Amino acid sequence: MKCIILGATGLVGQQLLKLALIDPRVEQVIAPTRRAIAVHPKLLNPIVDFARLPMNADWWHADLVLCALGTTMRQAGSRQAFFAVDHDYVLQAAQACKKAGTPTWVYNSSLGADAKARSFYLQVKGQIESDLAQIGFTSLGVVRPSFLDGGPRPEKRIGEAIAIRIAKWIAPILPQRYRAVSTNKVARMMWQLGIAKTAGLRVIESEQIYQLPETS
């Protein structure tokens, strides 16, 4: 089995990469990134500019894609730049995979994703979900986690860190849907969806992710 991981340098993407590389069913992991990552015998690491993706590259053909590609408004610097990363880059990669014959796509979205949401962030997540559904993958999985808890990030996200701390403090009285979920659980849920290859669309909400048991 061949697996493509998009966003392999992020917190969820790093967890996905670990899962794929240790799985004996996986022959090759393709992880296109902007900068080189650690070498592994099973890893193909094309260095790409996501604004100019090589749409006809042979490595777009795989058995499944796990997409954790995304940024933040602060990192992007503007709504236009954020939309380019979280929508355009994702959609272009999906189109390349579909054209190459890859049947399964799993996307890391967000709790509350809705193209009609008041939040621009959630609008973009909802729009890309809708656009991915139009591409025609045999199997399309979408996970919608709440706040991601994956330990310290390379860049500071003060607002997110405060929200996670508050969410943990009030977790006993907070519905599971709104509790912070570990990046490990998000990655494992995405991996399960990808391996299952269930035909049609499957949407997994944050409470379902939260209920996964912890693992080392």
Domain ranges of the chain: 2-150+181-209
Q: E strands within 57-209?
A: 64-67, 104-108, 139-144, 148-149, 181-182, 200-205
Q: What is the pLDDT along the chain (216 residues), one digit of tens a residue?
A: 999 999 999 999 999 999 999 999 999 999 999 999 999 999 999 999 999 999 999 999 999 999 999 999 999 999 999 999 999 999 999 999 999 999 999 999 999 999 999 999 999 999 999 999 999 999 999 999 998 987 544 445 555 556 556 656 555 666 788 888 999 999 999 999 999 999 999 999 999 999 998 775
Question: Angle CA(184)–CA(186)–CA(192) in degrees, nearest 5?
Answer: 100
User: What's the half-sphere exposure (Cβ side, CA atoms, 13 Å) at 99?
Assistant: 13
| CATH architecture of residue range(s) 2-150+181-209 | 3-Layer(aba) Sandwich (3.40)
Which pTM does this prediction carry? 0.89
Contact 30, 41 (CB under 8 A): no
Q: Which of 58, 32, 68, 90 is nearest to 150 (CA)?
A: 68
